[in-house]
Chains A and B, each alone.
Chain A
Amino acid sequence: MSSTPNPVWSNRAIKWVDRRMPIFTLMYNELVVYPAPRNLNYWWNFGSLAGIALVILIFSGIFLAMYYVPHEDMAFASIERIMRDVNYGWLIRFIHMNTVSLFFLCVYIHIFRGMYYGSYKAPRELLWGIGVIIYLVMVGTAFLGYVLPWGQMSFWAATVITSLVTPIPWVGEDLAIWLWGGFGVNNATLQRFFSLHYLFPMVIFALVFLHLWALHTTKSNNPLGVEVKKKADTLPFHPYYTMKDAFGLGVALIALAFFVFFAPNYFNHAINYVQADPMVTPEHIVPEWYFLPFYAILRAVPDKLGGVVLMFLSIAIWLALPWLDTSKVRSGRFRPLFKWFFWLLVIDFCILTWLGAMPAEGAYVTMGQWATAYYFAHFILILPLLGWFEKTKPVPESISAAVTAGHDKEAAA
């Protein structure tokens, strides 16, 4: 896919393999000489970081699965055993738990990065769409995993979330029974959730390869949003971006280690260390932080089916983004009005996150409704209209022109 000639391998073993299956050539072209825009900033770190988080999750998960017992009578105790008796079990579990937060944080930054710099615009619609699907499967995986420790929050999260299908006309009730394998969340539910929690990360892994395939076909967008036009616009991926990614990884791992060692349950809920009781609902059912904005949208609607539909639409609408944003200019940097609305959306998203954790009563409900309305207005009103009314700033003629002549801030970054 790169314009450089294929490498000539001197090592005979590599040569032998490469002649029969050019995997070394592929890696050389896609990871070493791969031409990346020379002006990528640190917001471009979060894709590879998310990928590493995925690998950490799969790795730690496989070891957890060696001791975890998916049974309603034993699951909770088996987690306690991992925590107390299994050598370094506590470490492996805390790594798994906290890396989920790191994973979601990276992916949210990655998604909003794409929104700011218009990375979803032609020709990257498919790349963007595959990303949204990866996010959806992640949501499913994290939900399934959260049920496994079989604490109170696990059980009731499972109940509330699986019940989301019940308002579907005609088939809702039967669908819920099918999901549960019983008349409510029960042992059969736990066992299938474990089976699927093992499967979904592999599906994500495969989807990541499709994502990268699309990426290496269209190439990366960049902070200026102008396409690469000549060689001077690019740098070879290695060592420039391997190093930049490695530095970001170091920072992320320090943050991860801080939580793993000093605040391992910061993102967890104490009530999940109480074993599941199908007869008692906890006072406050609060999802994990990464689901809060969507939970707030669910609760903003006083109608059962309406709430569920709106919640799914709030993510599905990202798929339509390439067509909702009518502006010809890609990067937010040259869109003076869009810039403001982008940050308003970020603030709105944070408010929704906060509201998702609040009890569903009084002023919180009203605020949730406004925040939800604004969220959708951004996508179906503001973005389409901005493209017509906004007077954009002049876009540089090429990356290298902007970087060398303009001494753009990017050059320093």
Chain B
Amino acid sequence: MSQAANPAGNDGGTTRRDFLLYASAGLGAVGTALAVWPFLDSMNPAKDVMALAVIEVDLSPIAVGQAITVTWRGKPVFVRHRTQDEIDQARSVSMSALKDPQPDEERAPRPEWLVQIGICTHLGCIPKGQKPSDPKGDYNGWFCVCHGSHYDTSGRIRKGPAPTNMVVPQYAFLDDTTIQIGEE
């Protein structure tokens, strides 16, 4: 930093000028970083988007073996009224066979009702399996056609590139046939 032509310089070593230079450059860098933040943060979800949506879902019309898809925060939520077979399949799996181990009891506290966000945890497609005519994959649950992820009857990832199970949102039973999705 200290040049020979610098009249205030001493030969080599750090000078007061160097210190001032580094200090002001450092301060400038910090200031610029701070000034950039509002712009970056402006790209985050706006307040109206953040205002959490809460929805209620009436379960009474969903017969055993049927499933419906509802929209919550712009995302599909799969609500499935599982058959005894499906429950048994989900509960008989040993944890060691799972890529993202999670007992079915935890995912579906009331075994006949499975509620989960219907988004493939790989890259966000909506897996098939809601309609009776849909492919259900090798584990009789859901199949994501985008890159071939197979989910079981508990919505757990069994095969394919998705890393984790489909997400179970926060929800509560208001009564036996109504759930509320989202936090109060």
Contact = CB atoms under 8 A, between A and B. Distances in A.
A181 interface: yes
Contact of B160 (A161, A181, A280, A302): A302
Given A188-B46, A279-B71, A285 B125 contact: yes
B161 A302 contact: yes
A159 interface: yes
Contacts of B148: 359-361, 365
Nearest to B49: A182
A222 to B, nearest CB: 44
Interface string A146-159: 00000000001001
Given A159-B123, A361-B148, A192 B76 contact: no
A183 B125 contact: no
Contacts, number: 86
Interface in B135-174: 145-148, 160-163
A346 B74 CA distance: 43
A299 B148 CA distance: 9
B100 to A, nearest CB: 12
Given A160-B125, A281-B146, A181 B161 contact: no
B26 interface: no
B94 interface: no
A19 interface: no
Contact of A156 (B76, B125, B160): B125
B91 interface: no
A278 interface: yes
B35 interface: no
B44 interface: yes
- The size class of the interface chain B forms with chain A is 20 to 34
Contacts of B40: 178
A329 interface: no
Interface in A286-323: 299, 301-305, 307
B145 A284 contact: yes
A186 interface: yes
Interface in A155-184: 156, 159-164, 166-167, 177-184
Contact of B124 (A163, A279, A284, A359): A163
A283 interface: yes
B12 interface: no
A304 B124 contact: no
B73 A183 contact: yes
Interface string A329-360: 00000000000000000000000000000011
A361 B44 CA distance: 36
A303 B164 CA distance: 11
Contact of A160 (B69, B73, B123): B123
Given A281-B145, A304-B161, A361-B148, A178 B74 contact: no
A162 B124 CA distance: 9
A159 B163 contact: no
B43 A178 contact: yes
Contacts of A303: 161, 163
What 3 A-B pairs have minimum CB-CB distances, sorted nearest first?
A163-B124, A163-B123, A281-B126
Given A192-B43, A304-B163, 15 more contacts: A160-B146, A163-B124, A166-B123, A166-B124, A180-B45, A183-B74, A184-B73, A279-B76, A281-B126, A281-B145, A285-B145, A302-B161, A303-B163, A304-B161, A305-B163
20 contacts: A156-B125, A160-B146, A161-B123, A166-B124, A178-B40, A180-B45, A181-B46, A182-B45, A182-B74, A186-B74, A278-B74, A279-B126, A281-B145, A304-B123, A304-B161, A304-B162, A305-B163, A307-B161, A359-B148, A361-B148
